Amino acid sequence: MKKVVIIGAGIAGIASAIRLAHKGLDVSVFEANAYAGGKLSSFEIKGYRFDAGPSLFTLPNLVTELFELVDKNPTDFFEYEQLTEVCRYFWEDKTRLTAYAEPQKFAEEVEKITGEPAEKITQFLKDSAFKYEVLDGLFLQESLHKLSTWTSKKALKGYLNLPKLGIFGTMNEANQKLFKNPKIVQLFNRYATYNGSDPYQTPATLNIIPHLEYNLGAFFPKKGMVSITDSLVKLAESLGVKFYFETKVEEIFVEDGNVKGVKVWRNGDGGKGGNTTDLIPHTYDLIPCEAVVSNMDVTHTYRKLLPNEKHPNFLLNQPKSSSGVIFYWGIKKQFPELDLHNILFSDNYQEEFKTMFEKKTIFHDPTVYINITSKHKPDDAPEGCENWFVLINAPANDGQNWDEIIAQTKENVLQKISRILGENIAELIECEEILDPRTIESKTSSAQGALYGNSSNNRFAAFLRHANFSSKIKNLYFVGGSVHPGGGIPLALSSAKIMSDCFKDFP
């Protein structure tokens, strides 16, 4: 049986393991951390449970299809519910808007609160659906690096509709043209942050993103976001996949342009799902294999694991997406005005992005995202309390004084939330953990702590991501948010599917 090594147990690595095991391959996953999931993991402090990273769940079919692929019932492993509210929005002038999941109800609420005509919202969401329909099969489910993609019927449809896809203008320009109310422009501009970009630079093509939430639905896993990871690991193990944790891959061995194996550093006493006699603790081992799939950031894959190979520096040196500073707060009070997803907007959105991407720091009045899973999963916090995941968009790590930036940002954020909610939030914090671009990079091997790999702040960004395979090294593949088609759970899962299709000709 052909052996495949997967580097990294992020969501794309786990999905890749499932797909390749289904093809009859012998799959081993090596993970430097002591847990699976990468950003999609969780932790507990003082009775509060927090999902560490991604907090929004869309396109659940990309998860459930992995179970169906191997003739398993998804509900035996994983359960989720559809949300009736997508998000609650707050502005400093006391405006509050609930974004209902049902499109018509949302449109009517927008008109009621802001005066923006409901038909404009309906028009926007129809256009978002159209863009997605054209681009999904072409850019999101196929490799952009194969001729067959560009000569398909899907590609022809894309060529015919090119002027309607928003490639030649920015997201902000398109939204300003359609909407009169600046609050609604801001609301839809924020979707650029879903792949770490700037709405004043990124193409209007990214207006496809709201389609996922409003037309297809936003969801919540009943056992938290980490249950996506847990259920897929369980599925992979049932297929014979072996996981080795605290086992860091140090190098990918290449000989005559072919992958031959990996060198790993074992820092533990056995891998979950693996045979503890396979590897000797606290030693280097050479693991032979016929193929390697890297779920590690593509920049680090080349620069750390392939030191003797030619690097695609033009792609690796592209500007990075935004990162984030996350405050995990245990709050000893419940706030009925907040829901699962909440946004407290900056009063100067354009300056916020300029500060992040040009000045490489965090604006003094940042937009604040608060995720509270205890709204749907009460045992995530003690009775009468809430678990707040507070995210502020931040630049990628470029050597800034993060201790100083974080201290000032925390003060600004606490003041902002306290103003809007009319409560001294600092006095309600029982416990705290902080994640910043430095720790994001060290824990998830994301270059510069960027959450989505390269930024999408130009119209050619989709073509400036590395392919899901190497054109120079045979049987070397790539998945995850740093390569095609991009970052976020849905695209990471899509990258695994695209990569596995490349194994059609695997010897």
Are 194 and 231 members of one domain?
Answer: no
Are 193 and 276 members of one domain?
Answer: no
Convert the pLDDT of each residue in 362-405 to its tens digit.
999 999 999 999 999 999 999 999 999 999 999 999 999 999 99
Are 74 and 112 members of one domain?
Answer: no
Domain CATH for 240: 3.50.50.60
Q: Is residue 446 part of a domain?
A: no
Convert the pLDDT of each residue in 27-54 to its tens digit.
999 999 999 999 999 999 999 999 999 9
Q: What is the Rg, in whole angstroms, of the alpha carbon atoms belonging to the chain?
A: 22
pTM of the model: 0.93
Query: For the residues 420-438, what does the mean pLDDT come to?
Result: 98
Domain CATH for 143: 1.10.405
Contacts for 224-227: CB closer than 8 Å, 24+ residues apart: 224/42, 224/49, 224/51, 224/373, 224/377, 224/380, 225/40, 225/42, 225/51, 225/53, 225/54, 225/55, 225/57, 225/373, 226/37, 226/40, 226/41, 226/42, 226/51, 226/52, 227/78
Query: For the residues 101-110, what does the mean pLDDT come to?
Result: 98
| Residue 224 pLDDT greater than 60, yes or no | yes
**Listed residues 215, 243, 275: the one ending a domain:** 215
**Listed residues 190, 215, 240: the one ending a domain:** 215
- For 439, counting Cβ atoms within 10 Å of its Cβ (0-12 exposed, 13-18 middle, 19+ buried), the class is middle
Q: Is residue 27 part of a domain?
A: yes
Are 114 and 203 members of one domain?
Answer: yes
Residue 420, both tokens? 């809007």
Are 304 and 239 members of one domain?
Answer: yes
Of 147-151, 359-363, 492-496, the range with the lowest mean pLDDT is 147-151
**Listed residues 182, 198, 215: the one ending a domain:** 215
Specify the higher pLDDT residue, 102 or 143.
102
Q: How far apart are CA 405 and CA 366, in angstroms?
A: 12
Q: Is residue 73 part of a domain?
A: yes
| Average model confidence (pLDDT) across the chain | 92
Are 242 and 178 members of one domain?
Answer: no
Q: Is residue 395 part of a domain?
A: no
Query: For the residues 229-236, what does the mean pLDDT come to?
Result: 98
Are 57 and 110 members of one domain?
Answer: no
Are 179 and 277 members of one domain?
Answer: no
Number of folded domains that form the chain: 2
Q: Is residue 417 part of a domain?
A: no
Are 128 and 205 members of one domain?
Answer: yes
Q: Which residues are registered as beta bridge partners of 249? A: 264
| Residue 274 pLDDT greater than 60, yes or no | no
Q: Which domain holds residue 174?
A: 103-215
Are 248 and 204 members of one domain?
Answer: no
Are 151 and 255 members of one domain?
Answer: no
Query: For the residues 277-303, what does the mean pLDDT come to?
Result: 83
Q: Is residue 53 part of a domain?
A: yes
Are 66 and 115 members of one domain?
Answer: no
Q: Is residue 373 part of a domain?
A: no
CA distances in angstroms from 264 to 176, 274, 445, listed in the order given: 52, 14, 16
**What local confidence, expressed as pLDDT, does residue 44 receive?**
98
Specify the higher pLDDT residue, 167 or 106.
106
**What local confidence, expressed as pLDDT, does residue 152 receive?**
67
Comparing CA positions, the residue from 258, 202, 198 lying closest to residue 395 is 198
